[in-house]
Structure 1
Amino acid sequence: MTNFSVKKVAVLGAGVMGAQIAAHCVNAKVQVVLFDLPGKEGTPKNGIVLRAIDNLKKLSPAPLGDKEDASLIQVANYEDNLDQLADCDLIIEAIAERLDWKHDLYKKVAPHIGANAIFASNTSGLPIEQLAQGFDADLKARFCGVHFFNPPRYMHLVELIPTEATRPEILDQLETFLTSALGKGVVRAKDTPNFIANRVGIFGMLATIHEAEKFGLSVDVVDDLTGAKLGRAKSGTFRTADVVGLDTMGHVIKTMQDNLKDDPFFSVYKTPDILAKLIEKGALGQKTGGGFYKKVGKDIQRLDFATGEYVAGGGKAADIIARILKEKDPVKKFKALRESTNPQGQFLWAIFRDAFHYIAYHLDTIADNARDVDFAMRWGFGWKVGPFETWQAAGWKQIAEWVKQDIEEGKALTDAPLPAWVFDEKVAEKGVHTPEGSYSAKSNSYVPRSNLAVYERQAFRAPVLGSGDIDPSKAGTTVFEDNDVRLWHSGDDVLVISLKTKMHVIGQGVIDGLKRGLAEAEKNFKGLVIWGTDAAEGGAFSAGADLQSALPAFMAGGPKALDPLIRDLQNTFMAMKYSNVPVVAAVAGLALGGGCEMALHASRRVASIESYIGLVEVGVGLIPAGGGLKEAAVRAAKEAKGNDILQFLKTGFMNAATANVSKSALEAKAMGYLKEDDIIVFNPYELLHVAKVTARSMFDSGYRAPLQRPVTVTGRYGWATIRGQLVNMRDGGFISAHDYKLGDMIAEIVSGGDIDQGSVVSEQWLLDMERKAFLELLNNPKSQERIMGMLQTGKPVRN
């Protein structure tokens, strides 16, 4: 096996996508050079690229994990810097969707591309075969399509599209790099217009617009029906179009009109009149301030199709339909929609029927198998369940009969019949997803998953309904399980603790589970990994302390009733820190408050790039009391190495006092919540593998618990200095009196309290201060207002 390593990437085109792809390469520590046209005479030669990089810092959601890294993107133009392509291992072209422009650029760059480099186009739908015309045989064999979805850092899907001539190992190498280094879900698509996700997704949007007009439903009602209630992006259909940009949507539709003349669904690819009118007016959605929706003052108004005017929005699904959509059993749900007399129910059945009709008819030409269609829609359009999975769950045979009936009665979008394979005995019996693989209409067989070596790093791959995939919450051998935690292993010397509470909040049950896990790991294992079974599917690491479960004790015995619980939490986290075997926190998603403190006390952290870490207790009128402030003081003393500790304390203090949460794992490093040697993982499906390997290698390298060291603190000098700044903020009206009180308490703890500068204290001294302040705040009416506000509304109260 030869290691294919991508050390340097060139991105051609510094538009929205090109610049963001470059940013994500930098996130992944891949050297990247971003090209665009040279600036016009009298302007900086690399002005276009420099402006694009500057813009990356302003975009939200942020393309860069750490804004400081923008400076790591190298700038280049096609006139002076083509020689830089020679040592690039991967070159991604991401210019505007025009065949002639792309061909002109290819002529310019081809002579400069290295002999082993992969060349790829990030086109969203142009034929890859046509793009490769004019290449010599050698370059053609190294060329393919690589279609990222916007925004590239956050969207899991990348479609990989070969030409007839692309060498198979090129695709394997690229899939490996995209999966592990950039953290993507790769689907191999066929070279058909708009590939898989946009082909099915944009058809779905067009069908939705068509059916909405037919059933007389307004855009806000359609969005309420087709968003979170269907397990899809909460922006629904029309709001999604506004966000994507109506001109972009128009462009993708035009690709279908130009290239799919023989498709029986061709009439559906007509640009809807309403969309054409909006584009003509320059109302292109969010970027122009108006599309299907328009913000007027604080209100969001919707477009009325009949008059073309904007009117008050806020329409919702009818109660009866909302109730049907809550039905857990898909078989019952689809029967109810099919039989509904409500126009909203009929509309929903119609859009599902249209989608099922479409994917069945086109499966043999657009994708290798049904699984690829489902992954494309889940990862590219944010659907919780793919369209084939939905069909299979609702009863393959029955749905097929209903769709057939609708086609015969002229209710469908076209009279093209369902293909024969839909009624094939084995498909009717098993569905399209089975433990042996997913159905391929092309080869009339069930295709297993890719066995590329990179997937061995995924302990549990993305599950497909009906494939018999192992449920991570039941995997391996259970050592202990109750309502709060599960301790388990896979026979590989590492004990895993998975929290089972909602959002993995920490109450007495979790504390007891951690203690049990530590004892078990020290006795029988090489390490303990804290990992959430839903980490790859967007779950939280831990949203912090379980305030709800502590409420009864507080109501019965007041703050002092919680003293034993806080002590127990502190002692358990300290036992983790000083455990005889390594404890690795596998962090992904939210790690807030007590969840952040749990991670801070692990021996090492392995964090998904999408980790949002912070001490947020001030939001509920409290201060961190699980050792989070103690760790800030420990870190400052260590980093100061004899210099003025206060300079090093400010970050830790500000983060806690302002409830600052990292927007990525990279930012969490800059904030001090992750340490320099902590590992950042880009593919969340690899998190458990890397955490286990880390725990085992620490143990095998002779891990010993760290020795407890005394902590040098700034004492009253540091406390008074920080307090001075807080007074200014309070008197200037930047923070409330209660914010000032919380800030002052945090300052007192991180500086060690009313003692001399340079005093040396124990970790326990700082923990005792945390606990005392926390219990005092529980008695404070202002803090109680914040706690109750959060429990009732889920939003912080500012008082």
Structure 2
Amino acid sequence: MKRIIKKVAVLGSGVMGSRIACHFANIGVQVLLLDIAPRELTADEEKKGLKLDASAVRNRIVNSALQAAVVANPSPLYRKSEVSRIKTGNFDDNLKEIATCDWVIEVVVERLDIKKSLYERVEQFRKKGTLITSNTSGIPIHLLAEGRSEDFRQHFAGTHFFNPPRYLKLLEIIPTPETKPEVLDFLLHYGDLYLGKTVVSAKDTPGFIANRVGVFALLDAMQTMQKLGLTVEETDKLTGPVIGHAKSATLRTSDVVGLDTTINVANGLAQGLPNDEAKDVFVLPNFVKQMGENKWLGDKTGQGFYKKVKGADGKSEIHALDLNTLEYKPSQKVKFATLELTKTIDKLADRFKVLVSGKDKAGEFYRLSFGSLFAYVSNRVPEIADQLYKIDDALRAGFGWELGPFETWDALGVQAGIDLATAAGRTVAPWVAEMLAAGNQTFYQVENGVRKFYDKESQQYQPVSGVENFIILDNLRASGKVLWKNAGASVIDLGDGILNVEFHSKMNSLGTDVIQGLLKGVELAENGYRGLVVGNDAPNFSAGANLGLVYMQA
């Protein structure tokens, strides 16, 4: 059966539902966005003389949610005009219209009883063979499918988008034992090719992959922060771009997402993982509990780990929470000797050995946090993923890590990572030591331009799935395909008679070395090759001209 998605129904118009609807509209799909009908009139509606049966009233919730999404910053839409593809309605009047849809995505409140009640109504109108998925982030997928028809169960899976769906790349697909293999294959393919996602097939375990590991890392950082007496600002300085994580780092990210979300996910994991060897990490620190009680939830309540206030001069300034007194103080600039040593190290993988060798609190923080993380992810294979690269993919795409946990571990050295875990009081899964004993020294390796991962089950290196159709310069470089290079550029043989000029100067700026590389690429291409590509795998193609060089030449 050739499945084509022309129309999607999104059930639930909250922050996630409205933005998922927008992203489908972005790619040209017609969307039916539904939510509950109000049970009471607002004061404004009463003044206008409207009744509960008026269309404007019955669709007030969904229309207000969609309008909030349209004006949101960053925008969930490529262009404002894309919203014309979204039709709104409510569950009472319009649920029957899902019969015209090819895919139904449920995004209602995270309560099992409410979701199952909605599914019962969906079964009345859904046509056979239609995809039906849930965006739940915490409820076991198999519980959601219980009691439904065979056709419903066979076409049901979890589709866990990350917020905001347009910008965060991860889409976790969670099948049940009854999900048809062709349904799983379609969702993986569609998410990649049409939605532009890094799609990871996850097991039906608490938190799936990204939240299980990402929230562990966040809570472990909080506990290590307390143990070492670090401030909020110091913790964010240590867990941001210097280790390849987002600029908002750990605690600022919690403010943006909402501390209530962190608390809910952490509590859900703590309850759902009674046998987790690191279950102590999922116990919320007292300061987090107090912040939750105080409603200091971050941006949504005006204060969290950080708070914007007006200074004596009337200008806005940022204050940070003192975790000892729970009072806000002007945010302080942070300096660590260990971080100073990394300022001249551009390549992320080369920084890690310097960071864990630090003699100050920064070095101690990294030794403890990396040790805990390495032990934790080693014990999650095969519990949450059979292949270790899926864990790396999920953390890179869902949490914005430049390198996943196993990639970071490789950068430090596998045995060194085991030593860090032992020193941190954690135990690495036995399969890692067995891997080393068999002479396999890394989790990843490149053979003939193909990136492979160590497969625990077969005890062999296997190709990473899903990248066979991509040209990855790092893999070609590791396979000896570099024909020429200097400090700012390389000429790489892509195969099939095509060369590539890659920039690797500071921020890929255009200077003498890059210009020399471009000229060399043209020279080589004109002598025996069919074409020349200028490209790289960096986050940004080029920052522009090296202005320092321009001034020197002026």
TM-score (norm 2): 0.86
Shift of 1:456: 5.4
Alignment of 1:392-791 (within 5 A): 392-404=410-422, 406=423, 411-412=424-425, 417-424=427-434, 425-426=436-437, 429-435=440-446, 437-441=452-456, 444=459, 446-450=461-465, 457-460=469-472, 469-471=475-477, 490=494, 492=496, 498=502, 503=507, 531-534=534-537, 537-540=538-541, 542-554=542-554
Whether the aligned pair in 2 keeps the contact of 1:317 and 1:344 (CA below 8 Å) is: no
Residue of structure 2 in register with 1:53 after alignment: 66
Q: Quick one: which of 212, 233, 244 aligns to 2:246?
A: 233
Shift of 1:443: 5.9
Residue of structure 2 in register with 1:13 after alignment: 12
Shift of 1:247: 0.7
Partners of 1:500 and 1:320 in 2: CA distance: 25
Partners of 1:551 and 1:67 in 2: CA distance: 42
Shift of 1:538: 2.0
Whether the aligned pair in 1 keeps the contact of 2:236 and 2:248 (CA below 8 Å) is: yes
Residue of structure 2 in register with 1:264 after alignment: 277
Alignment of 1:41-120 (within 5 A): 41=52, 43-120=56-133
Partners of 1:135 and 1:164 in 2: CA distance: 14
Q: 1:197-249: CA deviations, max 9, x gaps?
A: 11111111111111111111111111001111111111121111111101111
Residue of structure 2 in register with 1:306 after alignment: 324
For residue 12 of structure 2, what is the amino acid of its counterpart? Answer: G
Partners of 2:361 and 2:514 in 1: CA distance: 48
Identify if the C-alpha distance between structure 1 residues 57 and 525 changes in structure 2 by more than 3 Å, giving closer, same or farther: farther
Q: Quick one: which of 128, 138, 141 aligns to 2:154?
A: 141
Could you say what the CA RMSD is over the residues aligned between the two structures, in angstroms? Answer: 3.3
Residue of structure 2 in register with 1:376 after alignment: 394
Unaligned segments of structure 2, at least 5 residues: 40-51, 311-315
Q: 1:738-787: CA deviations, max 9, x gaps?
A: xxxxxxxxxxxxxxxxxxxxxxxxxxxxxxxxxxxxxxxxxxxxxxxxxx
Shift of 1:326: 6.3
Partners of 1:111 and 1:472 in 2: CA distance: 56
Whether the aligned pair in 2 keeps the contact of 1:325 and 1:333 (CA below 8 Å) is: no
Partners of 2:279 and 2:522 in 1: CA distance: 62
Whether the aligned pair in 2 keeps the contact of 1:190 and 1:367 (CA below 8 Å) is: yes
Partners of 2:368 and 2:201 in 1: CA distance: 29
User: Across the two proteins, how many residue pairs are aligned to each other?
Assistant: 530
Partners of 2:352 and 2:495 in 1: CA distance: 42
Q: Which has the larger radius of gyration?
A: 1
Whether the aligned pair in 2 keeps the contact of 1:206 and 1:268 (CA below 8 Å) is: yes
For residue 82 of structure 1, what is the amino acid of its counterpart? Answer: L
Identify if the C-alpha distance between structure 1 residues 331 and 144 changes in structure 2 by more than 3 Å, giving closer, same or farther: closer
Residue of structure 2 in register with 1:563 after alignment: none
Q: Percent identity?
A: 37
Instruction: Give the SS at the match of 1:201.
Output: helix
Whether the aligned pair in 2 keeps the contact of 1:353 and 1:403 (CA below 8 Å) is: yes
Unaligned segments of structure 1, at least 5 residues: 464-468, 555-799
Q: 1:350-402: CA deviations, max 9, x gaps?
A: 11111112112222211112111111111111111111111122121232134
Shift of 1:512: 8.8
Shift of 1:332: 8.8
Instruction: Give the SS at the match of 1:81.
Output: helix
For residue 60 of structure 2, what is the amino acid of its counterpart? Answer: G
Identify if the C-alpha distance between structure 1 residues 339 and 72 changes in structure 2 by more than 3 Å, giving closer, same or farther: closer
Structure having the larger proportion of residues in helix: 1
Q: Quick one: which of 164, 186, 190 aligns to 2:177?
A: 164
Instruction: Give the SS at the match of 2:476.
Output: coil
Identify if the C-alpha distance between structure 1 residues 439 and 126 changes in structure 2 by more than 3 Å, giving closer, same or farther: farther
Shift of 1:483: 7.1
Residue of structure 2 in register with 1:590 after alignment: none
Shift of 1:180: 1.0
TM-score (norm 1): 0.61
Shift of 1:86: 1.9
Partners of 1:344 and 1:129 in 2: CA distance: 43
Instruction: Give the SS at the match of 1:294.
Output: strand
Identify if the C-alpha distance between structure 1 residues 136 and 49 changes in structure 2 by more than 3 Å, giving closer, same or farther: same
Shift of 1:16: 0.7
For residue 375 of structure 1, what is the amino acid of its counterpart? Answer: D
Identify if the C-alpha distance between structure 1 residues 431 and 544 changes in structure 2 by more than 3 Å, giving closer, same or farther: closer
Residue of structure 2 in register with 1:574 after alignment: none
Partners of 1:55 and 1:183 in 2: CA distance: 24
Q: Quick one: which of 388, 394, 405 aligns to 1:387?
A: 405
Q: 1:405-425: CA deviations, max 9, x gaps?
A: x3xxxx52x6xx432212114
Shift of 1:316: 1.1
Shift of 1:346: 1.5
